[in-house]
Chains A and B, each alone.
Chain A
């Protein structure tokens, strides 16, 4: 799986299939701080990801 981290860093990870929530845990990223995007769609934490998925993790902004 190809992962673009919030800072733009590209990561590869081999998985069979993995729950997004578990993946973020592995990456030490808190779900509340980010949005995860696959094919231009924001996906929920209970989404199951496959090895050929490409995802992008972006930082949620909170200021106003």
Chain B
């Protein structure tokens, strides 16, 4: 049941999808991998939307060079663990949300337990090796993975539903090298908002998801395009998931 406070807080949303829809958001558990450029705005907007439980994992501490895009981290937070900085802001903006944070590096040994009983995974990472791990766990647990990535003015996005769509390994069979990447904060914001939008639609069961397509965002021309993507029959991850 939604409290009186919640009914007031979410009034503009219940106009859209009813109290039932808001209850669905409230009973959802979201795992966000990364509290950086994508993770901050994704977490912020899912928190204000009233997602019941958000688990955020990141190993880094806030650096001054993060402040152009990682909007949950402020000048006073430089030197602080990112997840603690994020937790403070998320709790302050919506105390109804259960925020759980873990300051660690996601790796093969811990990823399955970290994701735990989450209903879905948001990929807000900055490298492909961990994206592949998230992809693997999403398929083992049969929960969706919301992929986003950014560089400069460019971004990409897709929603992966195990058994229904190509997976990360189908689309990106080998990892591009990860290095220091240039980026403007707005690119992170735009791609993160599309990821958060996908998450909300998935939970509510409304609209059309960005599935079987890879969205490419070009901020310099203010254009996006949706490219068709296909499963690889021999994919080691999703080949036998139905």
A-side residues, CB < 8 A to B, are: 30-33, 35, 37, 40-42, 44-45, 58-64
Contacts and interface: CB of A to CB of B under 8 A. Distances in A.
A62 B151 contact: yes
Contact of B177 (A33, A42, A44): A33
Interface string B30-52: 00001011110000000000000
Contact of B125 (A45, A59, A60, A64): A64
Interface of B: 34, 36-39, 123-128, 148-152, 154-156, 171-178, 181, 183, 214, 216, 225-230, 232
Contacts of B148: 64
Contacts of A32: 172-177
B154 A59 contact: yes
A42 B150 contact: no
Which 3 A-B pairs give the minimum distances between C-beta atoms?
A: A32-B174, A61-B151, A64-B126
Given A32-B176, A35-B214, A63 B227 contact: no
B39 A41 contact: no
A64 B232 contact: no
Contacts of B228: 40-42
B14 to A, nearest CB: 32
A59 B151 CA distance: 10
B172 A60 contact: yes
B34 A64 contact: yes
Contact of B39 (A44, A59, A64): A64
Nearest to B216: A58
B214 A62 contact: no
Contact of B214 (A30, A42, A64): A42
